[in-house]
Chains A and B, each alone.
Chain A
């Protein structure tokens, strides 16, 4: 009976830093883990052009993608917290976001999973819980694109003045929200979407809406 395999994380770190004695013994007897370490080990292959280019430009050019028309949506009537993981709801007073969908002449609170339709308008209300500035980003094939930024009331729920129309070209609308103090930059969206900060200085949340027309 062979020893249980180490995790791929342990193997990846061994590929970078070298295995410890226990892992070394395992590698001597386990072909699949040995193959993993070999594949994940530093290479001498030539660096492709895309990597050279990426390193040269800290942030890429953003191209317009979704048609985000500004329009004020009708009255907002509900407010709930959507999708807050345990780490963030332990203490009171974390930021929360409510998304409203205007369809025809009706406005309803998004339930967190129902698909949206072409020409729906999306309206956001944010309770910033002490944060004072918001950047809203749209995830596009070219990266995150800022579609709104501005101050928000740190102490009261604030409906945003803009709404966003769901375009027929978009199978998914993925909106991200970065809250901060003072002015954070739209360029921070990219890193925030990856690092998903939830600290006293930066707060990230996002919604992913599927589009499905009746």
Chain B
């Protein structure tokens, strides 16, 4: 597939995912662009399914890197969870503490948290995207939920 076909086919979903994770600003556009540049420079196999999983992982890693670099650790309004996210309570905590969580948690735990709580993926889908077992995803989600709850507890007056 040439660059024009690749761009027109896959860039829209990359752009949407970055907006979902980072809001509708220039940062989301930058991360979407960076994700796509890396995609163009990598041989990704597996057809549409393989490409989409790769794009989710890559954009997730770049978003996490961005959150870690950012000076402020709290980003209340940046995240725009998917309407399909069924974890409203944790999703709200994620919105409040995403910067701190990104700095405190290993990347794979953060990836799982974003996929489940912001994208609204099922645990099975997150396991497929991250290429691990569902059990591992559950364990990472436990870590993620505990970290979010601890931050919430610490923020109470």
Answer yes or no: are A and B bound together in one complex.
yes
Interface bracket on B: 35 or more
Query: Given contacts A39-B12, A51-B7, are A58 and B125 in contact (CB under 8 A)?
Result: no
| Contact between A43 and B48, CB atoms less than 8 A apart | no
A113 touches B104 (CB 8 A): yes
Among B9, B54, B107, the residue within 8 A (CB) of A206 is B107
Q: Is the CB of A208 within 8 A of B68?
A: yes
Residue of A with least CB distance to B62:
A194
Stretch at the interface among B34-42, B87-95, B149-157: B34-42
Contacts of A40 in B (CB 8 A): 12-13, 16
**Among B11, B40, B125, which residue has its beta carbon within 8 angstroms of that of A7?**
B125
Q: Given the known inter-chain contacts A8-B121, A87-B136, please indicate yes or no for A54 contacting B41, CB distance below 8 A.
A: yes
Interface core residue of B13, B71, B108 (most chain A CB under 10 Å): B13
- Cβ–Cβ < 8 Å partners of B121 in chain A: 7-9
- Size class of A's contact patch? 35 or more
Bound complex: CA A47 to CA B6 (Å): 10
Least Cβ–Cβ distance between B120 and chain A, in angstroms: 5
Residues of chain B lying within 8 A (CB to CB) of residue A193: 61
Interface check A13, CB cutoff 8 A: yes
> Quick check: A12 and B52 within 8 Å, CB to CB?
yes
State the CA gap A45–B9 with chains docked (Å).
10
A1-31: which residues lie under 8 A (CB-CB) from chain B? 4-13, 15-17
B residues in contact with A213, CB < 8 Å: none
CA distance A54 to B34 in the complex (A): 10
B142 to chain A minimum Cβ distance, whole angstroms, is 11
Q: Is the CB of B13 within 8 A of A139?
A: no
Q: Are B3 and A51 in contact (CB under 8 A)?
A: yes
Nearest A residue to B48, CB-CB: A16
Contact partner of B11 (CB less than 8 A), chosen from A4, A11, A33, A43, is A43
* Interface majority SS (helix, strand, loop, mixed), chain B: helix
- Contacts A16-B9, A194-B42 hold; do A5 and B65 have CB atoms under 8 A apart? no
Tell whether, in the assembled complex, residue A42 and residue B9 are in contact, meaning their CB atoms are under 8 Å apart: yes
Chain B residues with CB under 8 Å of A52's CB are: 3
Give min CB distance, A40 to chain B, whole Å: 4
For A10, A51, A113, A195, the residue with the greatest tally of chain B CB atoms inside 10 Å of its CB is A51
Q: Which of A42, A44, A174, A206 has the most CB of B within 10 A?
A: A42
Binary B-proximity of A48-71 (CB < 8 A = 1, otherwise 0): 101110110111100000000000
Taken residue by residue from 1 to 24, chain B's Cβ proximity to chain A (1 for < 8 Å, 0 otherwise) reads as: 001101111111100110010000
Closest residue of B by beta carbon distance from A31:
B83
Q: A210-B68, A210-B103 are in contact. List 15 more A-B contacts (CB 8 A).
A: A5-B84, A7-B119, A8-B119, A16-B48, A32-B83, A36-B82, A39-B12, A43-B8, A43-B12, A54-B40, A55-B40, A85-B136, A172-B69, A190-B42, A208-B68
22 CB-based A-B contacts, threshold 8 Å: A7-B82, A7-B120, A15-B12, A16-B9, A16-B10, A16-B13, A42-B8, A47-B3, A48-B7, A51-B3, A51-B11, A51-B37, A54-B37, A54-B41, A86-B136, A87-B132, A172-B68, A190-B41, A193-B61, A194-B54, A208-B65, A208-B103
